[in-house]
Structure 1
Amino acid sequence: MPELPEVQGYKTYIDSTSLHQRITEVDCRDTKLLKKPKADFDAYLYNQELIETQRIGKYLFLKTTGKKILVMHFGMTGRPHYYKNEEDRPKFGHLELSFENGFHFAFENKRKFGWWDLIDSIADFKASHKLSDDARDLTLEDFKQSFNGRKTDIKKIIMDQSVAAGVGNWMADEILYQSKIHPTKKVIEMTDTDIKSVFDAMKKVIEVAIENHAHYKDFPKTFLMHFRKEGATCYHTGAQIEKIKVGGRTTYFSPQWQEL
């Protein structure tokens, strides 16, 4: 699933290709991917332009010259695709915007878990979906405060979008590996030093992933992503990586490096 770094890359891609162009058509091959009636997308996007993007976690908001903001969530396999000729429309480009300059923007969505919506306010959307500030922008103080009263496992907490919007499964594993914190360590047992270690690791993982365009093979050799599978060898200890379930999510960790 596209997580924060991937969606940041999509934001950069859209910024460089699809802004400030008049929309001449909205095409939809499957209306189940729209949170509002197709007629609403026609009414609010036709003849308008995309003028600015904003990302919060895994959500991408596209401000327009009209009254509505277009929201994109990329689901499991979604991604943007900008192209000139209609015959180049990708097979799974179920949603498409056409522009006055003759180019098109397709929302590829093979497994159809992604979607589009139209909203009036990003702030209201953020509140109704209980999103924290984006994990990239989050302050240490706000991060610490979100731990108050929590007693569950640290991995569950950092994957909670009200705590760190944008952190998904692989990122959580990497953050805890970098901070040497066991994924099932209870938040109530964590010191301020532990919490800061997780926070710093989160910021590090986000920036490394964005800098490398979420291409895992280009991550530093000390990153778990290079050996994130059961039975693989931990870079630091030489011990085997283990796999468990935490909050229903498959979790990889190094038991000697991340001692409980």
Structure 2
Amino acid sequence: MPELPEVEIVTRALSRKLKGRSILEHRVHHPGVLLHDPHAGLGGPLRRFERGERHGKYMVLEFSSEQRLVVHLRMTGAFYFRDSDTPLQPHTHVEFQLDTGEWLAYRDPRRFGRIWWLSPNSSTNPLADLGPDALRLSQPEWVARISERSRMMKPLLLDQAVIAGLGNIYVDELLHRSRIHPQRAADSIPAARLGEMWSACRELLRLAIRNGGSSIRSFVDTDGILGNYQNFHLVYAREGEPCTTCGTLIKRIVVAQRGTWICPRCQRRR
């Protein structure tokens, strides 16, 4: 699933390419992907694109018509651009025609992703239950939100209501960088250590963004280009390979029903 860095990359790309553009019409090839609020009075074109923003793993595309598209890519969702003469890619479920004549298309082989078309009158808010964004919350807030809970660290960091944006890849990478075992109780970690973890999280996510994100199975940007950060993973999906810090072989365990990669020496359970 695309996590914060991958969604940030797509949001930035769409913001550049949609700048000043309007969506004139749309086509739906699979009705379960594009969701309308029946009470919002939607319909017609989406006028001039204003900005693209991201919160956690969600992107928000805002238009001057006060309407917006909220997107969650889930497992395999991706956007691409095509002209009228270019055939649709397989698994394309929604298309938006731009005032340039070009089409913005959304493809999703597993069809788990969703696009919400919302207006100021919409009663739906897909972001309502999310915690603060992992790249925007302050160090004191990070420390407080973790230290006040007794849950194991990995499922706590995966909980989007606590901190939004982290998934399996970057939680494993962050816990390794912080030398914290994923099953350690959150409230057992000193505040100073959690403060260091906040800094490590910001550094990790920014580094992943600079390297185009992680392409493990299917992630590509809007130009169809794979990310590169998977080549810099320290533990994720590296079972049996030596730890870059101490040389101990990386081990795969299961934590909260999620495959998890750790260095048994660097991340001892205390």
Give the TM-score normalised by the residue count of structure 1: 0.89
Point out the structure with the larger helix share.
1
Which of 234, 258, 268 is the matching residue for 1:249?
258
SS in 1 for 2:36: coil
Identity, in percent, stands at: 25
SS in 1 for 2:201: helix
Measure, in 2, the Cα distance between the counterparts of 1:12 and 1:82.
Answer: 15
Residue of structure 1 in register with 2:234 after alignment: 224
Measure, in 2, the Cα distance between the counterparts of 1:74 and 1:86.
Answer: 26
Number of matched residues? 256
Q: Which consecutive residues of structure 2, in runs of 5 or more, have no partner in the other structure?
A: 216-226
Residue of structure 1 in register with 2:24 after alignment: 24
Aligned partners of 1:18 and 1:82 also within 8 Å: no
Q: What is the correspondence of 1:1-260 to structure 2 with a 5 Å cutoff?
A: 1-36=1-36, 43-44=42-43, 46-120=45-119, 125=125, 128-129=128-129, 131-215=130-214, 218-219=228-229, 223-224=233-234, 228-260=237-269
In the alignment, residue 259 of structure 2 is paired with which amino acid? Answer: T
Bigger mean CA offset, 168-177 vs 39-48: 39-48
Q: Measure how far apart 1:42 and its partner are.
A: 9.6
Q: Measure how far apart 1:220 and its partner are.
A: 9.7
SS in 2 for 1:35: strand
The verdict on how the C-alpha distance between 1:210 and 1:127 changes in structure 2, with shifts beyond 3 A counting, is: closer
The verdict on how the C-alpha distance between 1:106 and 1:78 changes in structure 2, with shifts beyond 3 A counting, is: same
Residue of structure 1 in register with 2:224 after alignment: none
Over the aligned positions, Cα root-mean-square deviation in angstroms equals 2.5
Q: Measure how far apart 1:197 and its partner are.
A: 2.4
Measure, in 2, the Cα distance between the counterparts of 1:78 and 1:40.
Answer: 27
Higher relative contact order structure (alpha carbons within 8 Å, sequence separation ≥ 6): 2
Give the TM-score normalised by the residue count of structure 2: 0.86
Deviations 1:64-112 (A, max 9, x none): 1223221011010111111223434322221110012111101121110
Measure, in 2, the Cα distance between the counterparts of 1:138 and 1:86.
Answer: 45
In the alignment, residue 140 of structure 2 is paired with which amino acid? Answer: E
- Structure 1 segments (4+ residues) deviating >4 Å: 39-42, 215-222
